[in-house]
Every structure is written in C-alpha cells, then in structure tokens.
Amino acid sequence: MNILNYSLQRRTAMKTDKLPVWLNNAVFYEIYPQSFKDSNGDGIGDLKGIIQKLDYIKTLGFNAVWLNPCFDSPFTDAGYDVRDYKKIAPRYGTNEDMKQLIDEVHKRDMHIILDLVPGHTSAEHEWFRQSMKPERNEFTDRYIWTNSIWESTEGIPCIRGISDRDGSAGVNFFSTQPALNYGYADRTRDYMQAPNDKAPMAARAAIKDVMSFWLDMGCDGFRVDMAGSLVKNDPDGSENIKLWQDLRQFLDEKYPHCAMISEWGEPEKSIAGGFHMDFLLHFGPMCYTSLFRSEKPFFSKSGGDISVFRNEYQKFYDSADGRGLICIPSSNHDMDRIARYRDTDDLKVCFAFLLSMCGAPFVYYGDEIGMNYVEGLTSVEGGFGRTGSRTPMQWDKTLNAGFSACQKTLIPLDPSPDRPDVLSSLSDKDSLLNTVSELIALRQAHSALQNFGGFEFIYAEKNKYPLIYRRYDDNEEIFAVINPLGKAAECSLEICINGDVLFKTGGEINTEAGKISVPPCSAFLIKTK
C-alpha cells in the first residue's frame, strides 16, 4: 500500500468515527484564567477579561480555546479541586459570564473546551460532605472509603479522622482531593467495588450530568484531567477504556459535536476509549520530554537524541490508526515553560516543529511571546514548582504588564526588565509572536500541514541532526527540516526535496548533490509538489 492511499484511508476512518469536523484544522490556545486578564482590578484574571482578549487570540490564527478549571473551588489546587461542577467560581464571574464567553467565541468562528476533572472533587464538595456522615445515604459510596479508619487505601493516599464515619478516604493527589469511586478492576480488599456496581455507575451518571450541563450551555467539548486513572487497580487500562467508551456512546447520541481530549499520555488506550485526542506529556514515556525537557533535549543547542521521540511517536501514531490525534503542546500549567533555557531563535525552531506536526497544536498562553519560567516563586494555590509557569500574561509595558490595575496580583509577575510583551512583539516583525502567527497561517493555508495530513519520518537518526519529516495529502507534499543544534548539520538523502521554501528561520538551506545542509538553529518548510 502506498503512503498516499494510506493517508486517504486514515481520513476516511476519522469520518466514520464521527469526528467533530471542526477538529480537522483546530489550533488551540490554552488559557489559565486567573493569569490571563483581570477586568475588575482585583488582581485575578476573569472571564470578562478573556472576552476582552478574544480578538487578539483570533488575530494570531488560533481557532480554539482550552480554558483551565473555572468552576467553584476553594483553590487548594488552582481549581482542580472542584466544589461545585455547575457553578463558575465567583472570582471569575458568573454562569451568565460563561454563557457570554461561549457566545463570543462562537461569534468569531472559534470553539471552546472546558477542563473537566472527573476523578476527584474538593473535600468541600457537597457530595463528599454527605459521604462523611456515619449514616448511610445516597453519597456514602460516591467516594473511595475503606471499612475501618485503621485500614489505608491500597495504591492511593488516604485521609482519615476527618469525620465520625469509620473509614479512611482515598485521595488522588492532595489531601483536599478525595477520589470519586469508579470501582476497581482488580479487587483485593472488601471495600473495593466493581466498575459496574451501583455506586461507581452513579458516579459515572453524575459526570454525564455535569457534561450535559455545560454542553447544553454551548461549550464544544472537554479536556479531561487524569483520564486514565478513574477505575483503580487497572494495570492494562481495559476498565478505564470501557468506562470512556460508555461516555463516548452517551456523547455520540446526545452531543456528537463534543470534542474529547484526554490527559492520559497513552494514545493507544485513550483513543480506544473514544477520545478524539491525547497529549504527549511530561510524565510517562520519554517521548515528549526527550524533545524539550530531558537532561539533554533534542531541541537544544548542545544536542540530544531524536530517536527516543521517533520510536515512541511512531508506535503511538501506528496504534491510533487514523482514529484520533496525538497532540504535542508547547507547555502547559503543569510543566516548565518552553522558553526556559532557550532564546528567541531557539523558540522559533521549536514552534516550526510544533506547528508543522500532525495532531492538533496546543500553545500555552504567553508561550507565543516567549514568556519566561519565573524562578524561585513561593507556591500559590498548590502550584509549588509549577507556579513559575503560571505568572500573569504580559500585554504591554504599563502597570502589571497590562494584566491588572491592582497593586498586587494573585501570582507575581516576571520581574525581568527585558520580559517580553504582546504590544512590543506585535510591532517587531522579527518577534517570536509574529513567527508563530506566520506558522499558524501557513498551517491553515496548506491541507497537508493540518491535523490529519499524512506524516512520515524521513531522517531521524540517533544522535544526528537535522530532523526531516514529510507532511502530505492527495494534493501536496511538504518537508520539514529542523536543526535546533548550535552548529551546522547535514545528511545524505536519496530523495530530492527541492521546491518552494514556504518558511525559514536561521539562514538558508542547501539541497544540492544529494545532501541537505542547514545552518545552526534553523528550520525550513519546503513544498515539493
């Protein structure tokens, strides 16, 4: 089977699987709401502030927004501890403000996905308050409880002595995040229920109800936190896959437009479960970290090994078999910003890669201007080492970089005198911001570069540079040549990649005499047909 025919079969398979059409060319912008734009001067970003900046996002070329948690919460973990799934946190606004945001996004022919945290709630959630009571009630088994306060939960941490109920309550991470009960695949203790028992099915039904609430308001889908960990003691992921297949069937029947994106990091499992997309992440296999965040990342002037990424990515790509997307984010709220240890030239090469790969691109707010990871900040709302990646957006050179009129912001700003900002970047034709916008426009103008265009490694050898891959469809063929190294690189190829240079950064490429030669810290996109 030739590659072009294979590409056609992949795209046909996606249509059969009822993929929301808007995902074909979606380019996502991730917004951390408390740090994006403060509209009322309290030092915390809010939904009205996001509405004020939608035209900025749209102008750059982004056509989809991922909004990090914005539901009511005590914010011990920045909103990933939900107190009320159906209420917007008052500091961000109201449910009416969310409706307005959704409508304003749609007016701009964009889409918006919300962050869904189905695995745990806040300890202040009414469900958990009811479950702590010693008398049996509707919520007694909504969470994972052992039968005795002297018995710990197996495989996850627990909290105990918090109420008159005899038992220890399992938590997923922080002690303020009790784990909802979706059952256990491998049941080794009396307290462990099966995934299809009454209480785990009730938890599942409750999450369907939450999803319906926001989908009925008009949101376009969800990014699902810790998607592969709902059913416990599930080493091969089979019970979690079954759970998500059930939710996928529910969505296909009632909300076929709903896009589902998993924080799972194992596309062979998440896509089998019915997710449309999965992320390559900073945990799990070395695939993602070998690119940007290992001890010797490939995207560095000193050099790394692309074969680590090649081997894992090819495996994931093959296992997806056209049924879903594998997404590579620039950064996110849980990891160091991509700009850490990199200059603007380095970042341009990184984005040439991120915005020419298959799968839907995800750009974390501020990465498009090269915002720094701010070192040494005191933890804010459970951020700890992540706090340095959550600092306020830098819009201009006025007070608080244009983020807020408040004298003190929730999270301190980057104190660097040369910190980048949007206004300055827009007026600099050589800025990272303008390069990112150029790359997005190029992606949208060429079908081969879009999310389901074909992909093939051409040159990705162990400890060698440059990286070369091919993007294609029935209409065109584009080669990416990427050299993050701090010195020139070359390789010999049997195929010819002469053609129109659609994009370049870092100098000129030489493709004569069967060799590809590129200067240091450079990237090129070349259309050959």
CA distance 255 to 139: 28
Q: What is the pLDDT of residue 392?
A: 98
Lowest mean pLDDT among 1-10, 72-81, 84-93, 451-460: 1-10
Q: Do 514 and 492 touch, CB atoms closer than 8 A?
A: yes
Cα separation, 394 vs 373, in Å, equals 13
- Report the interhelical angle of 198-217 vs 238-254 (nearest 10°): 40
Helix or strand (DSSP H, E) at 363? strand 362-364
Q: What are 461-474's pLDDT values in tens digits?
A: 999 999 999 999 99
Q: Tell me the average pLDDT across 311-330.
A: 88
Contact 529/499 with Cβ under 8 angstroms? yes
- 98-113 average pLDDT score: 98
Amino acid 7: pLDDT: 35
pLDDT at residue 35 tops 50:
yes
Task: Determine the Cα–Cα distance for residues 182 and 239; give it in Å rounded to an integer.
Answer: 10
User: What is the tens place of the pLDDT at every residue in 133-146?
Assistant: 999 999 999 999 99
SS3 state of residue 474: coil
Beta bridge partners of 30: 66, 364
Mean pLDDT score across all residues of the chain? 94
- Per mean pLDDT, which range of 139-143, 208-212, 294-298, 510-514 is the poorest? 510-514
Q: Could you tell me which residue, 495 or 44, shows the higher pLDDT?
A: 44
Please, which residues have CB within 8 angstroms of residue 31's CB and are 6 or more apart in sequence? 50, 65, 66, 67, 68, 365
Residue 433 near residue 426 (C-beta atoms within 8 A): yes
Q: In Å, how far are 191, 243, 307, 467 from 457, measured between CA atoms?
A: 49, 34, 11, 8
pLDDT(322) > 90: no
Residue 4 has pLDDT above 70, yes or no: no
The SS3 assignment for 399 reads helix
For residues 219-234, average pLDDT: 97
DSSP-derived 3-state class of residue 425:
helix
DSSP helix/strand/coil, 423: helix
Q: pLDDT digit string (tens) for 178-189?
A: 999 999 999 999
SS3 313: helix
- pLDDT at residue 14 tops 70: no
- The kind and range of the H/E element at 90 are none
What is the C-alpha end-to-end distance of the chain, expressed in Å? 21
Instruction: Tell me how far apart the alpha carbons of residues 271 and 60 are, in angstroms, rounded to a whole number.
Output: 30
pLDDT band at 3 (very low <50, low <70, confident <90, very high): very low
pTM assigned to the model: 0.94
Task: Give the length of the chain.
Answer: 529
* pLDDT for res 272: 93
Residues of the chain with pLDDT > 70: what percent?
96
* Alpha-carbon radius of gyration of the chain: 24
Residue predicted with more confidence, 12 or 364 = 364
Measuring CA to CA, how many Å separate 301 from each of 298, 346, 422, 482, 507?
Answer: 8, 8, 26, 12, 16
What pLDDT is attached to residue 265?
Answer: 87
Residue 355: pLDDT above 90? yes
Q: Residue 137: how many CB atoms within 10 A of its CB?
A: 11
Helix (H, G, I), strand (E, B) or coil at 179: strand
- pLDDT tens figures, 236-281: 999 999 999 999 999 999 999 999 999 998 999 999 999 999 988 7
Low-confidence winner among 94-108, 283-297, 332-346, 361-375 (lowest mean pLDDT): 283-297
Q: Could you tell me the pLDDT band of residue 226, with boundaries at 50, 70 and 90? A: very high
Strands 467-472 and 454-459: antiparallel
Residue-wise burial string across 460-476, b where 16 or more C-beta atoms lie within 10 A, e elsewhere: beeebbbbbbbbbbeeb
